[in-house]
Structure 1
Amino acid sequence: MTKKIKLLLAEDEPSLGLIVKETLETRNFEVCYANDGNEALEFYKTEKPDILVLDVMMPKKDGFTLAQEIREDDKSIPIIFLTAKSQTKDVLEGFSSGGNDYLKKPFSMEELIVRINALLDRVSLKTNHEQIHIGSYIFNYTKQSLNLNESSVLLTHREAELLFHLYQKKNEVLDRTYILNKLWGNDDFFNARSMDVFISKLRKKLQEDVNVQIVNIRGFGYKLIC
Protein backbone atom coordinates (compact mmCIF):
# COMPACT_ATOMS: atom_id res chain seq x y z
CA MET A 1 0.00 0.00 0.00
CA THR A 2 1.27 3.46 -0.90
CA LYS A 3 2.29 5.49 2.14
CA LYS A 4 -0.07 8.38 2.79
CA ILE A 5 1.27 11.93 2.57
CA LYS A 6 0.73 13.81 5.83
CA LEU A 7 -0.63 17.29 5.13
CA LEU A 8 -1.27 20.12 7.58
CA LEU A 9 -4.24 22.28 6.56
CA ALA A 10 -4.83 25.58 8.38
CA GLU A 11 -8.07 27.31 7.41
CA ASP A 12 -10.36 29.32 9.68
CA GLU A 13 -13.42 29.05 7.42
CA PRO A 14 -14.99 25.74 8.61
CA SER A 15 -17.05 25.00 5.48
CA LEU A 16 -14.06 25.41 3.16
CA GLY A 17 -11.67 23.67 5.54
CA LEU A 18 -13.85 20.56 5.82
CA ILE A 19 -14.37 20.36 2.04
CA VAL A 20 -10.62 20.56 1.42
CA LYS A 21 -9.88 18.06 4.19
CA GLU A 22 -12.42 15.49 3.03
CA THR A 23 -11.43 15.79 -0.62
CA LEU A 24 -7.72 15.38 0.13
CA GLU A 25 -8.44 12.34 2.29
CA THR A 26 -10.01 10.65 -0.76
CA ARG A 27 -6.69 11.22 -2.60
CA ASN A 28 -4.47 9.32 -0.17
CA PHE A 29 -3.58 12.27 2.07
CA GLU A 30 -3.63 12.14 5.84
CA VAL A 31 -4.90 15.59 6.83
CA CYS A 32 -4.34 17.42 10.12
CA TYR A 33 -6.86 20.28 10.18
CA ALA A 34 -6.31 23.43 12.27
CA ASN A 35 -8.70 26.39 12.66
CA ASP A 36 -6.12 29.05 13.58
CA GLY A 37 -2.41 29.78 13.37
CA ASN A 38 -1.53 28.75 16.93
CA GLU A 39 -3.28 25.39 16.58
CA ALA A 40 -1.52 24.86 13.25
CA LEU A 41 1.88 25.50 14.84
CA GLU A 42 1.15 22.92 17.54
CA PHE A 43 0.09 20.38 14.92
CA TYR A 44 3.29 21.10 12.98
CA LYS A 45 5.41 20.36 16.06
CA THR A 46 3.61 17.15 17.03
CA GLU A 47 2.53 15.64 13.69
CA LYS A 48 5.61 16.39 11.52
CA PRO A 49 3.68 16.85 8.23
CA ASP A 50 5.16 16.45 4.76
CA ILE A 51 3.53 19.61 3.34
CA LEU A 52 1.60 22.64 4.64
CA VAL A 53 -1.46 24.37 3.16
CA LEU A 54 -1.99 27.63 5.07
CA ASP A 55 -4.71 30.25 4.87
CA VAL A 56 -3.20 33.74 5.08
CA MET A 57 -5.90 35.51 7.11
CA MET A 58 -6.34 33.48 10.32
CA PRO A 59 -7.05 34.38 13.95
CA LYS A 60 -4.32 34.28 16.61
CA LYS A 61 -1.52 33.95 14.03
CA ASP A 62 -1.69 34.76 10.31
CA GLY A 63 -0.31 32.44 7.67
CA PHE A 64 2.71 34.57 6.77
CA THR A 65 3.83 34.78 10.41
CA LEU A 66 3.23 31.06 10.88
CA ALA A 67 5.33 30.25 7.80
CA GLN A 68 8.21 32.43 9.02
CA GLU A 69 8.25 30.63 12.38
CA ILE A 70 8.16 27.22 10.72
CA ARG A 71 10.98 28.21 8.36
CA GLU A 72 13.21 28.80 11.39
CA ASP A 73 12.85 25.09 12.13
CA ASP A 74 12.57 23.60 8.63
CA LYS A 75 13.95 25.25 5.49
CA SER A 76 12.62 22.70 3.02
CA ILE A 77 9.05 21.70 3.92
CA PRO A 78 6.72 22.80 1.09
CA ILE A 79 4.23 25.56 1.93
CA ILE A 80 1.21 26.65 -0.12
CA PHE A 81 -0.73 29.76 0.85
CA LEU A 82 -4.50 30.07 0.34
CA THR A 83 -5.75 33.65 0.18
CA ALA A 84 -8.26 36.07 -1.27
CA LYS A 85 -5.50 38.67 -1.61
CA SER A 86 -4.19 39.16 -5.13
CA GLN A 87 -2.05 42.28 -5.24
CA THR A 88 1.60 41.91 -6.24
CA LYS A 89 2.88 43.06 -2.85
CA ASP A 90 0.82 40.36 -1.13
CA VAL A 91 2.16 37.67 -3.46
CA LEU A 92 5.73 38.86 -2.86
CA GLU A 93 5.18 38.91 0.90
CA GLY A 94 3.97 35.34 0.72
CA PHE A 95 7.07 34.16 -1.11
CA SER A 96 9.45 36.16 1.08
CA SER A 97 7.92 34.66 4.23
CA GLY A 98 8.85 31.20 3.00
CA GLY A 99 5.99 30.11 0.78
CA ASN A 100 6.54 27.91 -2.25
CA ASP A 101 3.22 28.54 -3.93
CA TYR A 102 0.23 30.85 -3.69
CA LEU A 103 -3.34 29.88 -4.60
CA LYS A 104 -6.03 32.56 -4.84
CA LYS A 105 -9.56 31.94 -3.59
CA PRO A 106 -11.85 30.72 -4.96
CA PHE A 107 -9.90 27.75 -6.32
CA SER A 108 -10.69 24.29 -7.63
CA MET A 109 -9.69 21.24 -5.63
CA GLU A 110 -8.08 19.75 -8.72
CA GLU A 111 -5.80 22.78 -9.04
CA LEU A 112 -4.83 22.54 -5.37
CA ILE A 113 -4.03 18.84 -5.69
CA VAL A 114 -1.93 19.43 -8.83
CA ARG A 115 0.08 22.11 -7.02
CA ILE A 116 0.56 19.94 -3.93
CA ASN A 117 1.87 17.05 -6.02
CA ALA A 118 4.15 19.38 -8.02
CA LEU A 119 5.74 20.68 -4.82
CA LEU A 120 6.19 17.18 -3.43
CA ASP A 121 7.87 16.16 -6.70
CA ARG A 122 10.29 19.09 -6.42
CA VAL A 123 11.18 18.11 -2.85
CA SER A 124 12.02 14.63 -4.15
CA LEU A 125 14.21 16.20 -6.84
CA LYS A 126 16.16 18.16 -4.25
CA THR A 127 17.50 15.04 -2.56
CA ASN A 128 19.33 14.17 -5.79
CA HIS A 129 20.82 17.64 -6.32
CA GLU A 130 22.27 18.68 -3.00
CA GLN A 131 25.37 20.38 -4.42
CA ILE A 132 25.52 22.01 -7.83
CA HIS A 133 28.50 23.90 -9.25
CA ILE A 134 27.58 27.20 -10.91
CA GLY A 135 30.82 28.87 -11.93
CA SER A 136 32.79 29.41 -8.71
CA TYR A 137 29.67 28.96 -6.59
CA ILE A 138 28.38 25.80 -4.96
CA PHE A 139 24.59 25.83 -4.93
CA ASN A 140 23.17 23.64 -2.18
CA TYR A 141 19.61 23.00 -3.26
CA THR A 142 18.63 21.21 -0.04
CA LYS A 143 19.95 23.93 2.28
CA GLN A 144 19.02 26.66 -0.23
CA SER A 145 22.37 28.37 -0.07
CA LEU A 146 25.07 29.72 -2.39
CA ASN A 147 28.63 29.16 -1.20
CA LEU A 148 31.66 30.99 -2.54
CA ASN A 149 35.00 30.30 -0.89
CA GLU A 150 34.32 30.77 2.83
CA SER A 151 31.15 32.81 2.47
CA SER A 152 27.57 31.55 2.27
CA VAL A 153 24.40 33.35 1.15
CA LEU A 154 20.95 31.98 1.94
CA LEU A 155 18.29 31.85 -0.75
CA THR A 156 14.54 32.03 -0.34
CA HIS A 157 12.57 29.00 -1.50
CA ARG A 158 11.43 30.77 -4.64
CA GLU A 159 14.99 31.89 -5.46
CA ALA A 160 16.27 28.32 -5.00
CA GLU A 161 13.54 26.86 -7.21
CA LEU A 162 14.12 29.44 -9.93
CA LEU A 163 17.90 28.99 -9.86
CA PHE A 164 17.51 25.22 -10.04
CA HIS A 165 15.37 25.48 -13.18
CA LEU A 166 17.83 27.95 -14.71
CA TYR A 167 20.64 25.51 -13.94
CA GLN A 168 18.78 22.61 -15.56
CA LYS A 169 18.74 24.69 -18.79
CA LYS A 170 22.17 26.31 -18.27
CA ASN A 171 23.52 28.02 -21.39
CA GLU A 172 20.10 27.53 -22.99
CA VAL A 173 16.95 29.66 -22.85
CA LEU A 174 14.53 28.93 -20.03
CA ASP A 175 11.13 29.74 -21.51
CA ARG A 176 9.44 32.58 -19.63
CA THR A 177 5.89 31.25 -20.00
CA TYR A 178 6.94 27.74 -18.98
CA ILE A 179 8.67 28.81 -15.76
CA LEU A 180 5.84 31.19 -14.81
CA ASN A 181 3.31 28.39 -15.16
CA LYS A 182 5.60 25.90 -13.44
CA LEU A 183 6.52 27.96 -10.36
CA TRP A 184 3.85 30.65 -10.14
CA GLY A 185 0.85 28.77 -11.50
CA ASN A 186 0.12 31.10 -14.43
CA ASP A 187 1.83 33.71 -16.59
CA ASP A 188 -0.24 36.78 -15.78
CA PHE A 189 1.21 40.29 -15.45
CA PHE A 190 1.54 40.22 -11.64
CA ASN A 191 3.41 36.91 -11.63
CA ALA A 192 5.68 38.12 -14.44
CA ARG A 193 6.61 41.17 -12.35
CA SER A 194 7.21 38.93 -9.36
CA MET A 195 9.56 36.70 -11.37
CA ASP A 196 11.53 39.74 -12.62
CA VAL A 197 12.10 40.73 -8.98
CA PHE A 198 13.44 37.28 -8.14
CA ILE A 199 15.71 37.28 -11.20
CA SER A 200 17.19 40.61 -10.03
CA LYS A 201 17.81 39.18 -6.56
CA LEU A 202 19.56 36.13 -8.01
CA ARG A 203 21.79 38.32 -10.18
CA LYS A 204 22.95 40.24 -7.11
CA LYS A 205 23.72 37.03 -5.24
CA LEU A 206 25.75 35.69 -8.18
CA GLN A 207 27.63 38.90 -8.97
CA GLU A 208 30.94 37.88 -7.34
CA ASP A 209 31.75 35.60 -10.29
CA VAL A 210 31.90 37.63 -13.51
CA ASN A 211 31.65 34.41 -15.54
CA VAL A 212 28.14 33.73 -14.22
CA GLN A 213 25.30 35.74 -15.74
CA ILE A 214 21.53 35.55 -15.99
CA VAL A 215 20.70 37.09 -19.37
CA ASN A 216 17.28 38.34 -20.39
CA ILE A 217 16.40 37.00 -23.85
CA ARG A 218 13.69 39.51 -24.72
CA GLY A 219 10.42 37.91 -25.73
CA PHE A 220 11.59 34.39 -24.85
CA GLY A 221 12.94 34.06 -21.31
CA TYR A 222 16.19 33.86 -19.40
CA LYS A 223 19.52 32.13 -19.88
CA LEU A 224 21.96 31.15 -17.11
CA ILE A 225 25.46 31.45 -18.56
CA CYS A 226 28.17 29.67 -16.60
Structure 2
Amino acid sequence: MSKEIKILIVEDDENLRFLVAHRLQSENYQILETGDGETAEKLIMSEKPDIVLLDWMLPGKQGSEICEKVRSLGFDKLIIMMTAKAQDVDKIDAYNFGASDYVTKPFNMDVLVAMLESKVKFLQNADKPEVHKFGEMEHHPNIHTLFSKGKKIELTILENRILLYFLRNPGKVINRDELMLVVWGYNSDVNTRTLDMHIVRLRKKIEVNPDNPQLLQTVRGVGYKFNI
Protein backbone atom coordinates (compact mmCIF):
# COMPACT_ATOMS: atom_id res chain seq x y z
CA MET A 1 0.00 0.00 0.00
CA SER A 2 1.41 3.40 -0.95
CA LYS A 3 1.90 5.80 1.93
CA GLU A 4 1.23 8.66 -0.52
CA ILE A 5 4.21 10.45 1.02
CA LYS A 6 6.61 12.07 -1.41
CA ILE A 7 10.27 12.34 -0.37
CA LEU A 8 12.95 14.27 -2.28
CA ILE A 9 16.52 13.06 -1.71
CA VAL A 10 19.16 15.74 -2.39
CA GLU A 11 22.57 14.06 -2.18
CA ASP A 12 25.58 14.35 -4.51
CA ASP A 13 27.06 10.97 -3.50
CA GLU A 14 25.42 8.73 -6.11
CA ASN A 15 25.96 5.50 -4.19
CA LEU A 16 24.40 6.84 -1.02
CA ARG A 17 21.54 8.41 -2.95
CA PHE A 18 20.84 5.09 -4.70
CA LEU A 19 20.88 3.18 -1.40
CA VAL A 20 18.54 5.62 0.36
CA ALA A 21 16.19 5.83 -2.64
CA HIS A 22 16.10 2.06 -3.00
CA ARG A 23 15.34 1.48 0.67
CA LEU A 24 12.66 4.17 0.88
CA GLN A 25 10.97 2.89 -2.30
CA SER A 26 10.83 -0.55 -0.68
CA GLU A 27 9.01 1.15 2.23
CA ASN A 28 6.44 2.45 -0.32
CA TYR A 29 7.46 6.09 -0.31
CA GLN A 30 7.29 8.05 -3.56
CA ILE A 31 10.84 9.12 -4.30
CA LEU A 32 12.35 12.03 -6.22
CA GLU A 33 16.12 12.51 -6.29
CA THR A 34 18.86 14.86 -7.41
CA GLY A 35 22.53 15.55 -6.64
CA ASP A 36 22.39 19.18 -7.63
CA GLY A 37 21.34 22.22 -5.59
CA GLU A 38 19.80 24.27 -8.41
CA THR A 39 17.66 21.33 -9.54
CA ALA A 40 16.73 20.65 -5.90
CA GLU A 41 15.29 24.17 -5.49
CA LYS A 42 13.19 23.81 -8.64
CA LEU A 43 11.95 20.34 -7.66
CA ILE A 44 11.01 21.45 -4.15
CA MET A 45 8.94 24.33 -5.47
CA SER A 46 7.31 22.44 -8.36
CA GLU A 47 6.75 19.03 -6.71
CA LYS A 48 6.11 20.18 -3.12
CA PRO A 49 7.46 16.98 -1.50
CA ASP A 50 6.22 16.13 2.02
CA ILE A 51 9.79 15.57 3.23
CA VAL A 52 13.13 16.76 1.82
CA LEU A 53 16.28 14.85 2.82
CA LEU A 54 18.87 17.52 2.14
CA ASP A 55 22.64 17.07 2.20
CA TRP A 56 24.41 19.75 4.25
CA MET A 57 27.42 19.90 1.89
CA LEU A 58 26.57 20.08 -1.82
CA PRO A 59 28.91 21.17 -4.63
CA GLY A 60 28.45 24.85 -5.37
CA LYS A 61 25.72 25.35 -2.80
CA GLN A 62 25.23 24.52 0.86
CA GLY A 63 22.11 22.75 1.99
CA SER A 64 21.44 25.67 4.32
CA GLU A 65 21.24 28.07 1.33
CA ILE A 66 18.72 25.84 -0.43
CA CYS A 67 16.71 25.51 2.75
CA GLU A 68 16.68 29.26 3.34
CA LYS A 69 15.71 29.96 -0.28
CA VAL A 70 12.74 27.56 -0.45
CA ARG A 71 11.53 28.70 2.99
CA SER A 72 11.58 32.30 1.74
CA LEU A 73 9.48 31.16 -1.23
CA GLY A 74 6.88 29.70 1.12
CA PHE A 75 7.80 25.97 1.24
CA ASP A 76 6.59 24.80 4.66
CA LYS A 77 7.02 21.02 4.64
CA LEU A 78 9.66 19.02 6.54
CA ILE A 79 13.32 19.54 5.62
CA ILE A 80 15.73 17.08 7.24
CA MET A 81 19.41 17.94 6.90
CA MET A 82 21.91 15.11 6.34
CA THR A 83 25.23 16.05 7.91
CA ALA A 84 28.54 14.18 8.06
CA LYS A 85 29.59 15.12 11.58
CA ALA A 86 27.63 15.23 14.80
CA GLN A 87 29.54 18.38 15.78
CA ASP A 88 28.17 20.18 12.71
CA VAL A 89 24.69 19.89 14.14
CA ASP A 90 25.33 22.92 16.33
CA LYS A 91 25.92 24.92 13.15
CA ILE A 92 22.51 23.87 11.86
CA ASP A 93 20.62 26.71 13.44
CA ALA A 94 17.09 25.76 12.52
CA TYR A 95 15.86 29.28 13.02
CA ASN A 96 18.33 30.90 10.71
CA PHE A 97 17.33 28.89 7.71
CA GLY A 98 14.44 26.66 8.62
CA ALA A 99 15.64 23.04 8.91
CA SER A 100 13.10 20.83 10.70
CA ASP A 101 15.53 18.18 11.93
CA TYR A 102 18.73 16.40 10.96
CA VAL A 103 20.35 12.98 10.65
CA THR A 104 24.12 12.31 10.86
CA LYS A 105 26.02 10.29 8.25
CA PRO A 106 26.85 7.49 7.98
CA PHE A 107 23.38 6.53 9.16
CA ASN A 108 21.91 3.15 9.76
CA MET A 109 19.07 2.72 7.21
CA ASP A 110 16.78 1.25 9.87
CA VAL A 111 17.36 4.33 12.02
CA LEU A 112 16.54 6.62 9.07
CA VAL A 113 13.38 4.66 8.25
CA ALA A 114 12.25 4.72 11.89
CA MET A 115 12.81 8.47 12.05
CA LEU A 116 10.80 9.02 8.85
CA GLU A 117 8.02 6.72 10.11
CA SER A 118 7.64 8.84 13.24
CA LYS A 119 7.58 12.04 11.15
CA VAL A 120 4.99 10.57 8.79
CA LYS A 121 2.78 9.56 11.70
CA PHE A 122 2.63 13.20 12.76
CA LEU A 123 2.18 14.41 9.17
CA GLN A 124 -0.84 12.14 8.83
CA ASN A 125 -2.27 13.50 12.08
CA ALA A 126 -1.44 17.07 11.13
CA ASP A 127 -4.90 18.26 12.15
CA LYS A 128 -3.89 17.42 15.75
CA PRO A 129 -0.21 18.37 16.05
CA GLU A 130 1.83 17.11 18.98
CA VAL A 131 1.78 19.57 21.88
CA HIS A 132 3.11 18.95 25.40
CA LYS A 133 2.01 21.04 28.38
CA PHE A 134 3.97 21.33 31.61
CA GLY A 135 3.70 24.00 34.28
CA GLU A 136 2.79 27.21 32.51
CA MET A 137 4.52 26.08 29.33
CA GLU A 138 3.55 24.48 26.07
CA HIS A 139 6.06 22.73 23.80
CA HIS A 140 5.31 22.61 20.06
CA PRO A 141 8.07 20.28 18.76
CA ASN A 142 7.20 20.63 15.08
CA ILE A 143 8.07 24.32 15.17
CA HIS A 144 10.90 24.05 17.80
CA THR A 145 8.99 26.44 20.03
CA LEU A 146 8.01 26.84 23.67
CA PHE A 147 5.22 29.13 24.77
CA SER A 148 5.44 30.44 28.32
CA LYS A 149 2.37 32.43 29.38
CA GLY A 150 1.89 33.26 25.70
CA LYS A 151 5.50 34.36 25.24
CA LYS A 152 7.42 32.56 22.49
CA ILE A 153 10.78 30.93 23.28
CA GLU A 154 12.70 29.48 20.35
CA LEU A 155 14.62 26.21 20.73
CA THR A 156 17.54 24.92 18.69
CA ILE A 157 17.15 21.54 16.94
CA LEU A 158 19.15 19.88 19.72
CA GLU A 159 17.25 21.53 22.59
CA ASN A 160 14.03 20.57 20.82
CA ARG A 161 15.08 16.91 20.59
CA ILE A 162 16.25 16.79 24.21
CA LEU A 163 13.08 18.37 25.59
CA LEU A 164 10.81 16.23 23.40
CA TYR A 165 12.47 13.02 24.60
CA PHE A 166 12.01 14.04 28.25
CA LEU A 167 8.38 15.04 27.67
CA ARG A 168 7.65 11.70 26.02
CA ASN A 169 9.28 9.93 29.01
CA PRO A 170 8.14 11.92 32.07
CA GLY A 171 9.52 10.82 35.42
CA LYS A 172 11.83 8.23 33.84
CA VAL A 173 15.53 8.33 34.75
CA ILE A 174 17.35 8.60 31.41
CA ASN A 175 21.05 7.85 31.32
CA ARG A 176 23.43 10.05 29.39
CA ASP A 177 24.31 7.43 26.75
CA GLU A 178 20.65 6.86 25.86
CA LEU A 179 20.07 10.60 25.61
CA MET A 180 23.14 11.13 23.41
CA LEU A 181 22.02 8.36 21.08
CA VAL A 182 18.53 9.86 20.77
CA VAL A 183 19.73 13.42 20.32
CA TRP A 184 22.87 13.12 18.20
CA GLY A 185 22.06 9.78 16.62
CA TYR A 186 23.71 6.57 15.67
CA ASN A 187 27.55 6.73 15.42
CA SER A 188 27.65 9.90 17.44
CA ASP A 189 31.09 11.20 18.39
CA VAL A 190 29.97 13.78 20.95
CA ASN A 191 30.94 13.60 24.60
CA THR A 192 28.94 13.92 27.79
CA ARG A 193 30.30 17.44 28.40
CA THR A 194 28.57 18.60 25.20
CA LEU A 195 25.31 17.04 26.38
CA ASP A 196 25.58 18.68 29.81
CA MET A 197 26.19 22.04 28.14
CA HIS A 198 22.94 21.70 26.15
CA ILE A 199 21.06 20.71 29.31
CA VAL A 200 22.32 23.91 30.99
CA ARG A 201 21.09 25.99 28.02
CA LEU A 202 17.73 24.25 28.02
CA ARG A 203 17.29 24.83 31.76
CA LYS A 204 17.75 28.57 31.19
CA LYS A 205 14.69 28.44 28.92
CA ILE A 206 12.38 26.26 31.02
CA GLU A 207 13.31 26.64 34.70
CA VAL A 208 12.15 29.40 37.05
CA ASN A 209 15.59 29.15 38.70
CA PRO A 210 18.06 27.31 36.41
CA ASP A 211 20.57 26.98 39.30
CA ASN A 212 18.00 25.01 41.29
CA PRO A 213 16.15 23.04 38.58
CA GLN A 214 12.74 21.64 39.52
CA LEU A 215 11.79 20.20 36.13
CA LEU A 216 14.95 18.86 34.49
CA GLN A 217 16.80 17.26 37.37
CA THR A 218 20.23 15.64 37.48
CA VAL A 219 20.34 12.08 38.78
CA ARG A 220 23.87 11.86 40.15
CA GLY A 221 26.08 9.30 38.40
CA VAL A 222 23.33 8.25 35.98
CA GLY A 223 21.79 11.02 33.94
CA TYR A 224 18.63 13.10 34.13
CA LYS A 225 14.91 12.93 34.70
CA PHE A 226 12.04 15.27 33.92
CA ASN A 227 9.34 16.05 36.49
CA ILE A 228 6.08 17.30 35.09
TM-score scaled by structure 2? 0.77
CA distance in 2, matches of 1:76, 1:200: 31
Aligned to 1:92: 90
Contact 1:135 1:209 in 2 (8 A): no
Larger deviation, residues 6-15 vs 191-200: 191-200
1:184 corresponds in structure 2 to 184
User: SS of 1:79's equivalent?
Assistant: strand
Structure 1 counterpart of 2:104, which letter?
Answer: L
Deviates more, 1:67-76 or 1:175-184: 67-76
CA deviation string 1:59-97 (max 9, x = no partner): 2321233334455656761514143xx362x23223656
How do 1:22-171 residues align onto structure 2 when only pairs under 5 Å count? 22-70=22-70, 73=74, 77-83=78-84, 86=85, 88=87, 90-94=88-92, 96=94, 98=99, 100-105=101-106, 107=107, 109-121=109-121, 128=128, 130-171=130-171
The percentage of aligned residue pairs carrying the same residue is 26
Counterpart-to-counterpart distance in 1, 2:207 and 2:14? 48
- Contact 2:86 2:184 (C-alpha < 8 Å) held by counterparts: no
Count of residues in Structure 1 that have an aligned counterpart in Structure 2: 222
CA shift at 1:168, angstroms? 2.5
**CA RMSD across the alignment:** 3.2
TM-score (norm 1): 0.77
- 1:216 aligned partner: 218
Kept in 1, the 8 Å contact 2:83–2:104? The answer is yes
Distance 1:133 1:21, change over 3 A: closer
Q: Structure 2 unaligned segments of length 5 or more: list them.
A: none
Q: 5+ unaligned residues in a row in structure 1: which ranges?
A: none
**Matches of 2:197 and 2:186 in 1, distance apart?**
16
Quick check: 2:218–2:224 contact (8 Å CA) kept in 1? yes
Answer yes or no: is the 8 Å Cα contact 1:8–1:31 preserved in 2: yes
